[in-house]
Amino acid sequence: MSKTLVIVESPAKAKTIGRYLGDEYVIKASKGHIRDLPQKVMGVNTAKNYKPMYIDSPDKADVIREIKSLASKCDDVLIATDPDREGEAIAWHIAYMLKIDPRTKCRITFNEITKNAVQNAVANPREIDLNVVDAQQARRVLDRLYGYELSPLLWKKIQKDLSAGRVQSVATKLVMERDDEINAFEPKEFWKITADVSQQGSKLKKDRFQVEFYGVKKGGSVEKVALNNESEANAVLDQVKGNDMTVVKVTKTEKERKSSAPFTTSTLQQEASRRLGFAPSRTMSVAQMLYQGVEIKDQGQIALISYMRTDSVRISKEAMDAARKLIVDKYGKEYLSPYKREFKNKNSAQDAHEAIRPTHFEFDPETVKSSLTSDQYKLYKLIWERFIATQMASVRLDVTEADICCGDNVFKASGEIVKFDGFLKLYADLREGSGTTKTVELPSVSEGEILTNHNVEATQKFTQPKPHFTEATLINEMEKNGIGRPSTYAPTISTIEKRNYVEKEGKNILITEIGRVVTIFLQEHFEKEMDVGFTADMEERLDSIENGDANWVDVIDDFYPDFHAQIDRVTKNTERITIEDEKTGEKCPECGHDLVFKNSRYGKFIACSNYPDCTYSRNIENKLDGTPCPLCGAGINILKSKKHRNKIFYACDKTGSDPECSFISWDPPAKDKKCTACGSFMVYKKFRGKTYLRCGNRDCSTNTKPKKS
């Protein structure tokens, strides 16, 4: 029997695809890129048309050997890497490694991992799209030239362990500019006047409703009036206090609110951040699992969503029809949109994929909940409900607005009630802020009616600046300005956080001192490259390469010579920047010099100002509140490991170079909990998204498997 080797990117995807292909197919995962630019040198020959000097990835030697061996034993090879630029480039590298002509029909793609999609792809292979490969190669080369020339310049002129990037540096600039805008903002005073009124004869407080001052009558019209100080507010109060009001105008309308478009990568990251508190990187990690396939009880490995890197809102006819049938069956015909709702992309380049959506409509979130981790369930539910809502009926609202006068002073009141909940039956509209639609019902008032004025008061207010960026709003800003693409939003934000260019304060993202120094330096000397418009234009040029409208070498050549010349000028003509270290107020316990805050790729730490003569340093203490050390009762510090990619660990206050206490743990200790088997302390351990109690003694017999609390 002839065999066909199918190469995918991940083992999870391989397992899912295996359900839909027969014994004549052998499936192997490349586990991502198998060839790339070298790590420690530029790897781009700028003298020979920017030729990339690819090498086999050192950590993929075993994978490469196994793929070659399998290919030699099979009659055919199909490369089924992801359906995007990165996936097309990986396919091209695999073809090169296996000596396959990329112009032969060796490439298959599918937007969803379902039986029909996989079998249709296998039946209709295509050539590798070299325009898409060129677009990825241009981005890779461009970013390598940018980073490998600018980063060493930062080391020379500012300090070591800094980096710059074509997208990351502009994203950092956006954060700095927003922070500067907030700091420069001058609040302006204004006053708000509200009155509690009710229909005459109503004595219950629940019958009262609030009206707000709007302006004054001028002839036959109403002029809006801003109250800028207390004296202006008091002048209105004096005219209104103790006086009843008259309803002069009532307007009743019915409004409809349609559901939002299905998710793109950007909108999924933003909504998951707002609703679930997920960082963009966490969202993409979980979405990758749902796309590649998860083990569903009694069903095997099932892929639950379509491809999660997309800027398209297009919906396939099959998915639309399935959603509409589900709505009728589950909610009734009145909840179905009377027409098929389709959504348009901004440009044709976005039409390559569909929006993010469920792939198996028989598996609703509650059906598969027991098979998913907590994160997987939450994100799948969000995607499911958003998509199904796109084909549901609009929400119908009864809106009432009233103009109410006291003399020449005009107050306004408005309210709305949900007449028909439509898509809110399934997917609460976040635009109302609380997860459900806010309903304010005004009593049925009529023109000419007198209202009793129970109380009126003035409140001082001040205008507010724009809010700090959060991860969600920064992604929105990047997308709006054309900075980066769906696949780059999450890693860009992760990079500027890891580099300590920005820091999180709650959900807010703020510029750090080193982030500001680097950004100002780059802005001063590389104004063109730091311009938002330049970065967006470069993304469009990469798109034009993908579309076959531009040559990738020409695009790089339009950028690099001037950029390289500027690197040389700045290297020769600028002085090194000295950054004053912030003092902690403490003295070094080893030599008596001042202790200062330092920055590294691992974040902030405390060190002696007398370095290198004195090498004393320590982590900044972040306490685990409310839980004492289980061994000695002292406090517990939350620390970051330098050896394990910033992984959090927990250590007693008294743990150090000459420890009085030996408590160190990767897992937080549980307060007042003892192991029933050995009497040791207990810790909280996370396993598949769930938290368990387990014994802190590794040798305890209970540690053979997690013990649920």
Active site residues: 307
Evaluate whether 296 touches 285 at the Cβ level (below 8 Å).
no
Q: How far is C-alpha 393 from the geometric centre of its chain's CA atoms?
A: 29
Question: Euclidean distance between the first and final Cα of the chain, in Å?
Answer: 53
Using alpha carbons, list the distances in angstroms from residue 427 to 27, 273, 315, 377.
Answer: 39, 16, 18, 15
Q: How far is C-alpha 100 from the geometric centre of its chain's CA atoms?
A: 38
Q: Please write down the HEC assignment for all residues of 60-126.
A: HHHHHHHHHHHHHHCCEEEECCCCCHHHHHHHHHHHHHCCCCCCCCCECCCCCCCHHHHHHHHHCCE
Q: For the chain, how many helices (H) and strands (E)?
A: 17, 29
Nearest to 682 by CA among 707, 660, 704: 707
Q: Token digits for 77?
A: 């090879």
**Which DSSP string do the residues of 266-333 spell out, in sequence order?**
HHHHHHIIIII---HHHHHHHHHHHHH-EEETTTEEE--B--S--------HHHHHHHHHHHHHHH-G
> Could you identify the residue written with the tokens 């391989």?
14
Evaluate whether 319 touches 409 at the Cβ level (below 8 Å).
no
Rounded to the nearest 5 degrees, what angle is found at the Cα of 130, between the Cα atoms of 129 and 133? 100
- The continuous run of DSSP H or E covering 697 comes out as none
Nearest to 470 by CA among 504, 440, 438: 504
**Kind of pairing between the strands at 25-29 and 189-199:** unpaired
Dist CA 600 CA 501 (whole Å): 11
Evaluate whether 334 touches 342 at the Cβ level (below 8 Å).
no
CB-facing half-sphere around the CA of 299: CA atoms within 13 A: 17
Dist CA 351 CA 340 (whole Å): 18
The strand order across the sheet containing 690-695 reads: 669-674, 681-687, 690-695
**Kind of pairing between the strands at 594-600 and 583-587:** antiparallel
Dist CA 38 CA 51 (whole Å): 13
Dist CA 516 CA 178 (whole Å): 12
Q: How many residues does this entry show for the chain?
A: 709
Dist CA 417 CA 398 (whole Å): 5
* Cβ-proximal residues to 234 (8 Å cutoff; 6+ apart), any chain: 458
Q: Please write down the HEC assignment for all residues of 541-599.
A: HHHHHHCCCCCHHHHHHHHHHHHHHHHHHHHHHCCCCCCCCCEEEEECCCCCCEEEEEE
Rounded to the nearest 5 degrees, what angle is found at the Cα of 698, between the Cα atoms of 694 and 702? 45
Using alpha carbons, list the distances in angstroms from residue 593 to 585, 588, 589, 610, 614.
Answer: 11, 5, 8, 6, 9
Evaluate whether 145 touches 44 at the Cβ level (below 8 Å).
yes
Number of C-beta neighbours around residue 338 at 10 A: 8
